[in-house]
């Protein structure tokens, strides 16, 4: 909300804001899928990633990978050959995030049906 609270507590609040912000970047749709694919495939090239991550545009793939590189989640290796060959792989940090997010993937697989029925029920309201 735009309402700024009188802000009684301080440090806890700061850390929580930072963590929330971090979650906002890292729990991004494309970031999660890229991590998933890289965790499964190991090292991959740009176009291969583009094919593996269904639905992503080149612009967003570039952007997502840059951000992940900046955050220390992936390592970008450029082989100076023609045509260019660029490979991406997860750092330990990236792998650990993949592990942490694993629970959500499992949850999604297990509860897919429940959510679909919940939606149908909701859409049939009076």
Which residues make up the interface to DNA (CB under 7 A)? 2, 30, 45-47, 55-60, 62-63, 65-66, 76, 82-86
Q: Which of 37, 77, 79 is nearest to 54 (CA)?
A: 37
Nearer to DNA, 42 or 99 (CB): 42
Q: Where are the alpha helices (DSSP H) in 27-91?
A: 29-41, 46-52, 58-70
Q: Which of 14, 59, 65, 20 is nearest to 44 (CA)?
A: 65
What tokens appear for 36 in the block? 């998933």
Single out the residue of 39, 45, 69, 87 in contact with a second copy (rule: CB under 8 A): 69
Residue 40's binding partner among a second copy, DNA, none (Cβ under 5 to 8 angstroms by kind) is none
Residue 9's binding partner among a second copy, DNA, none (Cβ under 5 to 8 angstroms by kind) is none
40 interacts with a second copy by CB under 8 A: no
Beta-ladder partners of 74: 90
């Amino acid at each position: 909300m735009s309402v700024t609270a009188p802000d009684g507590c301080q440090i806890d609040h700061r850390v929580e804001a930072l963590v929330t912000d971090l979650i906002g970047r890292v729990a991004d749709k494309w970031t999660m899928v890229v991590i998933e694919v890289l965790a499964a495939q190991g090292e991959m090239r740009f176009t291969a990633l583009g094919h593996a991550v269904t639905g992503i545009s080149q612009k967003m793939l570039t952007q997502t990978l840059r951000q992940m590189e900046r955050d220390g989640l992936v390592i970008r290796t450029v082989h100076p050959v023609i045509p260019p060959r660029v490979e991406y792989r997860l750092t330990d940090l990236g792998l650990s995030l993949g592990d942490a997010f694993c629970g959500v993937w499992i949850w999604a697989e297990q509860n897919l049906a429940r959510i679909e029925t919940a939606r149908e029920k909701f859409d049939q309201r009076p």
